[in-house]
């Protein structure tokens, strides 16, 4: 399980050691893919460390963090302790309840959430991509995943088992299942970038439904 309850000397409380470790590799890949001035909507921001990391490295970004209502105040407190130009006040969002109006965005981003939220919440997130994204816009999701015809490496197998032991609704998601959910939302998996510790940054792209489809 990813520790979210630690604190650190720089005023992060809660603090996620894994978010601190993976921010460098993730944003080395992600930032060059974001056009100047991009507006990024982050789902399940957790501690807010990635929002601050991204906007510290790229002052032109407009970053919209979000969290489930029950976890929102901890996120807001962290962000207030780390005021960073470009990081917007965090908003409440649980993927099971689509927002009445999506924030203005050019990309959607989430890390280490799809194996934590229950399958219905994962499905709801993908279903909402149709409305959130315009054609050609991207959804970036980082974490450990199951790839077709590839056994999990031992560390991911153990992580998956511990997640399921704690909560049967949690567990590493299969790319096949995610791809099927995405197809229903007019979204395609464009790239799966290998990152350290057997994690991947998945790049999903919204396509326009073909004009002759029924
Ligand atoms: C392991 S933490 C990852 C937090 C952060 N993204 C990071 O990488 O440090 C999982 C996050 O998923 C969020 N989450 C779980 N279910 C959710 C849902 N249905 N909608 C939105 N966020 C959800 C949790 O609140 C939590 O912040």
pLDDT in tens, the chain (214 residues): 345 556 777 889 999 999 999 999 999 999 999 999 999 999 999 999 999 999 999 999 999 999 999 999 999 999 999 999 999 999 999 999 999 999 999 999 999 999 999 999 999 999 999 999 999 999 999 999 999 999 999 999 999 999 999 999 999 999 999 999 999 999 999 999 999 999 999 999 999 977 554 4
Domain count, the chain: 1
5 in a domain, yes or no? no
Q: How far is the CA of 67 from the centre of ligand 1 (A)?
A: 7
1 in a domain, yes or no? no
**Mutate which of 25, 49, 117 for ligand 1 pocket (most atoms within 8 A of beta carbon):** 117
Instruction: Supply the pLDDT for residue 10.
Output: 84
11 in a domain, yes or no? no
Supply the residue whose CA is at minimum distance from atom 17 of ligand 1: 117
**Residue 91, Ramachandran bin (φ over 0: left; ψ between -120 and 50: alpha; else beta):** beta
Supply the residue whose CA is at minimum distance from atom 9 of ligand 1: 19
Q: How far is the CA of 210 from the centre of ligand 1 (A)?
A: 34
Range of 199's domain? Answer: 17-206
Q: What is the largest CA-CA distance in the chain?
A: 58
Q: How far is the CA of 43 from the centre of ligand 1 (A)?
A: 7
Question: What is the pTM for the complete model shown?
Answer: 0.95
Supply the residue whose CA is at minimum distance from atom 5 of ligand 1: 46
4 in a domain, yes or no? no
7 in a domain, yes or no? no
- Crossing angle of the two packed helices 17-30 and 49-57, in degrees rounded to 10: 40
126 in a domain, yes or no? yes
**Mutate which of 46, 66, 121 for ligand 1 pocket (most atoms within 8 A of beta carbon):** 46
CATH (domain of 185)? 3.40.50.150
214 in a domain, yes or no? no
**Cβ of 64 less than 6 Å from ligand 1:** no
135 in a domain, yes or no? yes
**Cβ of 91 less than 6 Å from ligand 1:** no
Instruction: Supply the pLDDT for residue 8.
Output: 79
């Amino acid at each position: 399980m990813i520790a979210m309850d630690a604190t650190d000397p720089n005023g992060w409380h809660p603090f996620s050691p894994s978010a601190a470790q993976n921010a460098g590799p993730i944003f080395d890949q992600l930032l060059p893919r974001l056009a100047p001035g991009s507006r990024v909507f982050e789902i399940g921001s957790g501690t807010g460390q990635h929002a601050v990391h991204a906007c510290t490295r790229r002052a032109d970004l407009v970053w919209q963090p979000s969290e489930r209502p029950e976890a929102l105040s901890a996120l807001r407190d962290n962000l207030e302790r780390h005021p960073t130009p470009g990081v917007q006040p965090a908003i409440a969002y649980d993927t099971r309840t689509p927002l009445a109006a999506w924030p203005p965005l050019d990309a959607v981003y989430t890390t280490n959430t799809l194996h934590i939220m229950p399958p219905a919440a994962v499905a709801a997130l993908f279903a909402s991509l149709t409305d959130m994204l315009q054609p050609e816009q991207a959804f970036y999701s980082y974490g450990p995943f199951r790839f077709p015809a590839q056994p999990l490496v031992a560390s991911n197998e153990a992580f998956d088992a511990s997640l399921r032991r704690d909560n049967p609704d949690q567990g590493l998601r299969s790319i096949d299942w995610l791809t099927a959910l995405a197809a229903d939302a007019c979204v395609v998996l464009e790239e799966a970038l290998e990152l350290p510790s057997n994690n991947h940054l998945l790049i999903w792209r919204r396509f326009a439904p073909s004009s002759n489809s029924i």
